[in-house]
Amino acid sequence: MYTEPNTYDIVGVGFGPSNLALAIALDEILLERGRELSHCFIERQAQFIWHGDMLLPGTDMQISFLKDLVSLRDPTSPYSFVNYLRQHNRLEAFINQKTFFPSRIEFNDYLRWTAGHFDAHCRYGESVTRVAPEYKGRDVVALTVHSADAAGRERQRRTRSLVFAPGGRPFVPPCLAERNDARIIHSSRYLGEIERNPLDVGGEHAFAVVGGGQSAAEIFLDLVARYPSAKVDLILRGSTLKPSEDGPSINHIFDPDYTDFFFGQPQKVRLSLLAEFRHTNYAVVDGDLIERISAMLYAQRVEGTARVRVLSSCAIEQVRCDEHGVTLDLAQAGAAQPLQQRYQRVISATGYLRDTSRSLLAELEHELDGFSIGRHYQLATPAHVQAPIFVQGSSETTHGLADTLLSVLAIRSHEIALSLVNKLAPKPQRPVHASDIVAEEVE
């Protein structure tokens, strides 16, 4: 049981990898400086889990384990992936795998193990619903963070500062979302939904997976393996699955140093860099998955079967739901008639939006300078807003493509933690001696 202070120094919204990295960095700096700041992180999930409904067997990390929560800043930290391996007696065995890319299941276990060290600062099972400014005259002197648990019980916490890290919000195209049908599932809920309402494994079902990104490809392969008699269609707008651009010459755009370069560019240049490098991250699939899908399609041609299909250059024109399933009308480039297909489940692997921080701050909107974010991730506010607000993972257009990824966590969290400690628990002023004044006058 914990007792909560009347006012926190820092409240964090969300406890995924970004705010977990911040918890470590804060701990480190406060210990080093002999200071204390009361802080807590409010997390919607009941326990720490990293994209739990996408922890599919056989899926790997997309970045090196050396880009863990701490190593780029301090490879000697006890919270490194290497120390996690050592503590779990798997260091040599991991080395023998000869890989930089652990499974996502193992990396989740590393993150969960690290998060366990910060339980005292975590308020799991509560969703932040809004943030309200507290005015004294014209000044915003504090913020009140409102949250609710799964049973609808509401709580409020007063804080002197705020750090948002709520991650992405699932995006479902309107034509699918409007149906509001439980058989249409966003990829972020895939495993939970497919396991909660399972179809019989040997049944002749039909599944559609919409999207051409990594989530779509992983789910497509999972369904093919999970339901060996089912028909599975991968439906993409593009003309083909695109491999992610990867390799030593391009990967420097994910280096923390690149953030300075990117931030220093005019907005027009930033936007053209984002467009140029979009296919390092979005709407792309790992090359080895594309090879597995191609091999499967070719094997079917040899057998003369068509259990699985990749339907490219396809737009969803209409969606109908009835007791038999979800019917999609698919307009395929070059085809005279739309293709009509009925599915038992439609998985929308159509990506994420990053607007949660902004919508939770709606009551403060008039105080924000158009949601402009400074180099060290602080929202621009006028001087009378005395509570600093930081955001993680919402500044791709100013900080670059690495902003939503793990690549910058070790450095970004340290930058934010330093700003917070300097603002909220500054070093005590050294008493001014007469000799200082003389020295200044001589200069």
Ligand X SMILES: NC(=O)c1ccc[n+]([C@@H]2O[C@H](COP(=O)([O-])OP(=O)(O)OC[C@H]3O[C@@H](n4cnc5c(N)ncnc54)[C@H](OP(=O)(O)O)[C@@H]3O)[C@@H](O)[C@H]2O)c1
Name the site residues for ligand X (rule: CB under 6 A): 54, 59, 61-62, 104, 173, 187, 210-216, 218, 237-238, 281-283, 349-351
Partner interacting with residue 127 (select from ligand FAD, ligand X, none; CB below 5-8 Å by kind): ligand FAD
CB nearer to ligand FAD: give 40 or 42.
Answer: 42
Partner interacting with residue 213 (select from ligand X, ligand FAD, none; CB below 5-8 Å by kind): ligand X
CB nearer to ligand X: give 161 or 214.
Answer: 214
CB nearer to ligand X: give 113 or 282.
Answer: 282
> CB of 122 within 8 A of CB of 115?
yes
> CB of 407 within 8 A of CB of 67?
yes
Residue whose entry in the numeric block shows the structure tokens 């799991």: 124
Phi, psi of 401 (to 5 degrees): -65, -25
Query: For residue 431, what is the DSSP state?
Result: P
Least gap, CB of 415 to ligand X (angstroms): 22
- Taking CB positions, which residue lies at the least distance from ligand X? 213
* Alpha-carbon distances, residue 88 vs 76, 106, 355, 370, 384 (angstroms): 17, 11, 38, 47, 50
Least gap, CB of 348 to ligand X (angstroms): 8
Which token pair is 369? Answer: 């300078």
Partner interacting with residue 165 (select from ligand FAD, ligand X, none; CB below 5-8 Å by kind): ligand FAD
Partner interacting with residue 283 (select from ligand FAD, ligand X, none; CB below 5-8 Å by kind): ligand X
Partner interacting with residue 63 (select from ligand FAD, ligand X, none; CB below 5-8 Å by kind): ligand FAD
CB nearer to ligand X: give 27 or 60.
Answer: 60
Alpha-carbon gap, residue 382 to 386, rounded angstroms: 9
CB nearer to ligand X: give 57 or 264.
Answer: 57
Burial (CB count <10 Å: 0-12, 13-18, 19+), residue 63: middle
Of 16, 371, 3, 1, whose CA–CA distance to 165 is shortest?
16
Partner interacting with residue 212 (select from ligand X, ligand FAD, none; CB below 5-8 Å by kind): ligand X
> CB of 111 within 8 A of CB of 125?
no
Least gap, CB of 184 to ligand FAD (angstroms): 18
**257-261 long-range CB contacts below 8 Å, 24 or more apart?**
258/400, 258/402, 259/399, 259/400, 259/402, 259/408, 259/411, 259/412, 260/375
CB nearer to ligand X: give 110 or 118.
Answer: 110
Least gap, CB of 368 to ligand X (angstroms): 26
CB nearer to ligand FAD: give 9 or 43.
Answer: 43
DSSP string across 327-347: EEEEEETT-SS-EEEEESEEE
- The residues binding ligand FAD (CB under 6 A) are 13-19, 42-45, 50-51, 54, 61-63, 127-128, 165-168, 215, 356, 392-393, 404-407
Which token pair is 339? Answer: 């293709």
Partner interacting with residue 128 (select from ligand X, ligand FAD, none; CB below 5-8 Å by kind): ligand FAD
Partner interacting with residue 45 (select from ligand X, ligand FAD, none; CB below 5-8 Å by kind): ligand FAD
Alpha-carbon gap, residue 212 to 241, rounded angstroms: 6
Query: For residue 382, what is the DSSP state?
Result: -
Alpha-carbon gap, residue 53 to 273, rounded angstroms: 32
CB nearer to ligand X: give 151 or 353.
Answer: 353
